[in-house]
């Protein structure tokens, strides 16, 4: 990694009046007269007004004695004549900003201080100071930097009483909460001081002189922190940035600036060099200014989900390394073998402590089985918790940070009641004697909550606990994994088996067993998943855009995924190529590769509880479908593992004393492009034979559904795939996909997608003389003859047509029915379809029959084709033909949230010319079928072949002779007789016409397609025989061989 600063440069600061903090004067802030004398008249008026507000801070006539005493105590820390200062190059300044925000005591609404919205020049100066200081700070070395941080610990420990008082006054923390925060913050610095061994370099290769790797600092880092933990949160990142040789600019929450001001004083007392730590204040505009400063290399953010997304987006577009920790909706699961009272006290403390204003609060309690009977005891505990002013010793629940936070929390509670939830404990009207203006909300417990309710879907950030009831631990795990947040969760049990099941099953960053989630300290790692964590230290650098991953059924963005940049692509291909050449996988024995594939099957089975709901959420498909499909995928790994062990290699017959051994060798780097409709299924179908053959593989999943493929890659590496053998690069087809298939080192491309895209990719791949397999479009005919079992055929039509909401390349979208049974088939089909429609609901509901389409764009495409058929009169709607709105009769799900379309059957209109409609010829890729009639077998076959596509087809008849006869004449790569969609790893899957692709998946053919043959011809004749027959240049009269 190149050094962040190539040319060190010192900067002197003159724009601001200066004052230094000395260790002997903890309250040294720029004097009022000295400060204002350097300002313009306009600036003086702004600051004098601010100072006047603070000086006028005195007990009002109606203020109680307890409030007077609390304010008197606090004023020993913060002088009445001070504003929140900025800190640049070890100097304190009063900002020249004309925008100042009032910081109020959350318990009294009394004014504590004012914080500026720093100017662009102030932000620029802070970053420039950090940039100038960084080379010398790096050059000091680890030991010296550690000594400075150890000194900082000593200084902060001496200031801990003042810090705790400010935490209590400005943030509303109780004494115990403030003490705990200070302890954990100091421990984070201790942990940073101990990472020396992790920074040590390493030698690579057998010769230590060949290659040495070591870590270098990035340069200038920006830390943006929230109000909830103003002391501890900065110390999650700043000590690690400093100990590794970076310099820092801190921008704390404008709601709680005073602790950061004390931190700057501690930096000065500890003797850290100028510019190493800098402090600015402000709102989102200051955040943006900071990120866009060119010297800034990395950003660490902790805050709300919406703010995190904005910071993340700005940072990535600006090319900055970004780590953003945001919202949480953490679940606590209670099993009936848990210790009752310790568990309930732990739940209550986590949910209501710090006023619930922490991302690690257990805000949802899942009572499993009979533990629901414990809820009344939990209510008693909540009602016994004292709500009060933070400085009062009896207080267990302090005030919320400001009035807007209180209003927001009460609003969530109000809407929960409106949506049908029940309040077992209502804290909306909490009254604290002597503090009528405080932002108090008491502990609140809500039950009878459904997952679609706003109180469950959103982070409330207040003392509110959702209580839900499930029957089994598996249900609890599924519920946790379906939630968009993934900070953490806890399990309360005395069973080691249950703890292990829970640990493996939940997809979150942190897990507590018989303990609530706690903020990290020491060497604890702070991680989270899904919508709670974006970026991170291991994120591949690059400037590609951020892809939102949406739940199609609700339109909710529940994850963000980075598209691969050109640099990422080049690195992935080159790494794959090097791994291939190294032989670590390509030349591994077939038995070893088989062992790894079997381990893949085992780990994939273990991960099913996470993969099934994830696949459901990112595709919008019904979970009943995914619960059937995803478990079947282990068969592909097992099949190709078995194939590796039993496949025989040929010894071909030759003339003479020769043996011709034919071996198969992997191709090299292969690229696989997979679609949105079956993300895991199609990825596994391609990966299993490619890896079995020994190739290095790069998968580019659909930008709509990348998450399960990324999850799968982790499983495969855990199974034993060597580093570099498998990469997953999310991105868009026009950029990431095109760059991958164009790369000259790629020796094969395997794509599943639309016909147009397949042809475009094929032309690129052909230019590189690489191998190509493509499974493309389909418009599968399904023929129903009069000798068919009509009930079975109707069930087959429904399954073949509406599974995956019709979004599959082999969907039976052209139903061709013999005229003699047409009326009966349509009557039964209509009843069947109406039954499906009536039982549609939330895709996560196991009772729901069918899910949504992938996107609004896809729904509009379906609508366009259907409307064209109806408006031209070529077709008439027997069922459906409209998008779904309103609520589901099955479970109350709101269909208007997503692109839901009713299962639709279109029958012939005027003159039976349905075959002239566009929808007969074009892929709708939705739950729509078109019905046409026929009289003779020949007519049926002609209708079936009346298409540019030739992927799949179905035949329903009990006449075995007819079944053979018709299936032989249908132009399709796959023909199902009296069934549909059957898919086995051993059975080839590919098209018979160009519009449906080239080559095939599955079976030994797919394996061979990922290999090239190598013939070794061995002459075992004696030397004399060779001289007799092998000398081409012997005398002309003698016979010689040729070939």
Residues assigned a catalytic role: 775
| Cα–Cα distance list, 492 to 167, 348, 366, 524 (Å) | 31, 13, 10, 21
**Are 516 and 346 contacting, i.e. CB atoms less than 8 angstroms apart?**
yes
Q: Mapped to the 3 state alphabet, what secondary structure does 419-471 carry?
A: CCCEEEECCCCCCCCCCCCCCCCCCEEEECCCCCCHHHHCCCCCCEEEEEEEC
Distance of alpha carbon 385 from its chain centroid, rounded? 37
**Are 728 and 701 contacting, i.e. CB atoms less than 8 angstroms apart?**
yes
| Sign of the torsion angle spanned by Cα atoms 278, 284, 289, 290 | positive
Kindly state the helix (H) or strand (E) to which residue 558 belongs, with its residue range. Answer: strand 556-562
CA angle in degrees (0–180, nearest 5) for 201-203-208: 140
d(CA 624, CA 905): 23
Helix (H, G, I), strand (E, B) or coil at 33: helix
| Cα–Cα distance list, 614 to 506, 674, 701, 729 (Å) | 12, 17, 15, 18
DSSP for 209-243, please give it.
Answer: TTEEE-----SEEEEE--SSSTTHHHHHHHHHHHH
CA angle in degrees (0–180, nearest 5) for 703-504-685: 40
Question: φ, ψ for residue 705 (rounded to 5)?
Answer: -140, 60
Helix (H, G, I), strand (E, B) or coil at 342: helix
Region class of 804: left (phi > 0), else alpha (psi between -120 and 50), else beta: left
What contacts 209, CB < 8 A, 6 or more positions away?
none
**Are 532 and 485 contacting, i.e. CB atoms less than 8 angstroms apart?**
yes
* H-state helical runs in 100-174: 120-139, 142-158, 160-166
Kindly state the helix (H) or strand (E) to which residue 92 belongs, with its residue range. Answer: strand 91-93
CA angle in degrees (0–180, nearest 5) for 393-396-398: 95
Sheet holding 904-908: strands in order across? 875-879, 904-908, 928-934, 812-818, 780-784, 952-956, 974-977
Crossing angle, helix 232-243 and helix 175-192, to 10 degrees? 10
Longest CA pairwise span in the chain (Å): 131
Long-range contacts of 590-593 (CB under 8 A, 24+ apart): 590/644, 590/645, 590/647, 591/644, 591/645, 593/641, 593/644, 593/691, 593/692, 593/694
d(CA 650, CA 665): 13
| Sign of the torsion angle spanned by Cα atoms 972, 973, 975, 976 | negative
Closest CA to 544 of 560, 566, 573, 559: 566
Question: φ, ψ for residue 775 (rounded to 5)?
Answer: -110, 110
* H-state helical runs in 803-871: 822-838, 856-871
d(CA 272, CA 962): 89
| Cα–Cα distance list, 361 to 150, 351, 578, 760, 874 (Å) | 31, 5, 46, 51, 60
DSSP for 702-742, please give it.
Answer: -TTS-HHHHHHHHHHHHTTPPTTSEEE----IIIIIHHHHH
């Amino acid at each position: 990694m190149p050094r962040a600063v190539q040319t060190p440069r010192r900067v002197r600061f003159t724009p601001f009046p200066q004052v230094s903090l000395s260790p002997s004067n903890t309250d040294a802030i720029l004097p009022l007269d000295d400060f204002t004398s350097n300002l313009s008249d306009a600036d003086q008026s702004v600051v004098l007004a601010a100072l006047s507000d603070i000086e006028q801070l005195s007990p009002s006539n109606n203020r109680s004695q307890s409030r007077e005493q609390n304010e008197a105590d606090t004023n020993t820390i913060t002088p009445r004549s001070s504003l929140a200062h900025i800190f640049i190059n070890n100097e304190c300044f009063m900002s020249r900003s004309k925008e100042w925000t009032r910081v109020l005591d959350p318990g009294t609404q009394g004014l504590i201080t004012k914080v500026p919205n720093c100017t662009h020049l102030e932000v620029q100066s802070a970053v420039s100071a950090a940039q100038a200081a960084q080379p010398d700070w790096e050059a000091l070395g680890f030991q010296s930097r550690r000594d400075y941080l150890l000194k900082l610990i000593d200084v902060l420990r001496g200031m801990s009483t003042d810090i705790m008082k400010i935490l209590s006054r400005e943030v509303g923390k109780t004494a115990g909460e403030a003490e705990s925060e200070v302890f954990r913050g100091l421990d984070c610095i201790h942990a940073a001081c101990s990472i020396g061994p992790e920074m040590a370099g390493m030698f690579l290769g057998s010769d230590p002189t060949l290659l040495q790797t070591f870590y270098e600092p990035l340069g200038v880092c920006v830390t943006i922190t929230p109000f909830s933990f103003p002391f501890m949160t900065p110390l999650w990142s700043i000590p690690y940035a400093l100990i590794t040789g970076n310099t820092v600019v801190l921008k704390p929450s404008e709601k709680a600036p005073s602790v950061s001001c004390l931190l700057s004083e501690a930096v000065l007392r500890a003797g850290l060099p100028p510019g190493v730590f800098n402090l600015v204040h402000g709102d989102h505009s200051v955040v943006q200014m900071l990120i866009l400063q060119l010297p800034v290399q990395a950003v660490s953010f902790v805050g709300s989900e919406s703010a995190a997304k904005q910071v993340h987006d700005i940072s990535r577009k600006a090319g900055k390394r970004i780590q953003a920790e945001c919202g949480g909706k953490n679940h606590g699961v209670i099993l009936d073998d848990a210790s009752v009272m310790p568990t309930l006290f732990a739940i209550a403390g986590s949910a209501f402590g710090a006023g619930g204003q922490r991302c690690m609060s257990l805000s949802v309690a899942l009572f499993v089985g009979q533990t629901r009977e414990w809820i009344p005891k939990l209510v008693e505990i909540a009602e016994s918790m004292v709500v009060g002013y933070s400085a009062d010793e009896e207080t267990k629940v302090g005030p919320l940070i400001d009035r807007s936070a209180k209003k927001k929390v009460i609003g969530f509670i109000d809407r929960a009641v409106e949506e049908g939830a029940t309040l077992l404990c209502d804290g909306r009207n909490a009254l604290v004697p002597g503090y009528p203006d405080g932002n108090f909300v008491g502990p609140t417990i809500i039950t009878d909550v459904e997952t679609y309710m706003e109180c469950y879907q959103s982070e409330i950030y207040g003392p509110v606990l959702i209580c839900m009831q499930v029957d089994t631990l598996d249900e609890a795990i599924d519920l946790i994994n379906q939630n968009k947040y993934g900070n953490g969760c806890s399990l309360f049990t005395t069973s080691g088996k249950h703890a292990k099941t829970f640990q493996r099953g939940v997809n979150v960053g942190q897990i507590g067993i018989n303990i609530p989630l706690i903020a990290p300290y020491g060497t604890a790692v702070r991680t989270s998943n899904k919508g709670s964590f974006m970026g991170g230290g291991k994120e591949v650098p690059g400037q590609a855009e951020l892809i939102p991953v949406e739940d199609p059924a609700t339109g909710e963005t529940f994850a963000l995924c980075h598209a691969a940049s050109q640099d990422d692509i080049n690195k992935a291909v080159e790494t794959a190529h090097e791994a291939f050449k190294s032989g670590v996988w390509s030349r591994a024995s077939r038995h070893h590769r088989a062992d790894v594939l079997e381990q893949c099957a085992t780990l994939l089975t273990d991960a099913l509880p996470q993969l099934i709901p994830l696949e459901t959420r990112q595709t919008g498909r019904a979970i009943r479908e995914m619960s059937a499909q995803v478990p079947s995928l282990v068969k592909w790994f097992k099949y190709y593992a078995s194939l590796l062990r039993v496949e025989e290699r040929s010894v071909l017959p030759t003339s003479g004393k020769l043996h011709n051994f034919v071996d198969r060798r992997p191709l090299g780097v292969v690229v696989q492009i997979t679609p949105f409709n079956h993300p895991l299924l199609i990825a596994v179908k391609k990966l299993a034979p490619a890896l079995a053959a020994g190739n290095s593989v790069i998968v580019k999943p659909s930008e709509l559904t990348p998450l399960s493929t990324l999850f799968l890659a982790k499983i495969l590496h855990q199974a034993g795939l060597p580093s570099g053998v498998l990469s997953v690069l999310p991105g868009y087809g026009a950029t990431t996909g095109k760059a991958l298939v164009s790369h000259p080192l790629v020796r094969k491309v395997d794509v599943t997608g639309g016909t147009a895209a397949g042809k475009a990719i094929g032309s690129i791949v052909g230019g590189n003389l690489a191998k190509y397999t493509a499974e493309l479009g389909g418009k599968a005919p399904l023929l129903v003859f009069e000798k068919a079992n009509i009930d079975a055929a109707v069930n087959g039509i429904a399954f073949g047509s509406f599974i995956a909401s019709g979004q599959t390349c082999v969907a039976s979208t052209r139903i061709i029915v013999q005229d003699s049974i047409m009326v009966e088939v349509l009557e039964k089909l209509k009843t069947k379809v109406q039954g499906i429609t009536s039982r549609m609901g939330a895709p996560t509901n196991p009772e729901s029959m069918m899910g949504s389409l992938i996107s609004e764009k896809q729904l509009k495409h379906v609508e366009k084709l259907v409307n064209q058929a109806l408006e031209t009169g070529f077709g008439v709607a027997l069922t459906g033909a409209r998008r779904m709105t309103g609520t589901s009769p099955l479970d109350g799900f709101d269909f208007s949230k997503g692109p839901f379309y009713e299962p639709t059957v279109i029958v012939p209109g005027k003159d039976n010319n349905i075959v002239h409609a566009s929808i007969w010829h074009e892929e709708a890729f939705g739950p729509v079928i078109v019905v046409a009639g026929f009289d003779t077998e020949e007519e049926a076959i002609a209708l079936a072949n009346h298409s540019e596509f030739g992927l799949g087809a179905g035949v329903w008849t009990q006449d075995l002779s007819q079944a053979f006869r018709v299936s032989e004449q249908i132009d399709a790569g796959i023909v199902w007789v009296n069934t549909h969609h059957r898919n086995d790893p051993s059975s080839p899957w590919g098209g018979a016409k160009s519009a449906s692709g080239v080559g095939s998946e599955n079976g030994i053919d797919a394996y061979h397609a990922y290999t090239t043959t190598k013939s070794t011809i061995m002459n075992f004749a004696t030397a004399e025989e060779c001289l007799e027959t092998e000398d081409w240049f012997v005398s002309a009269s003698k016979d010689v061989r040729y070939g």
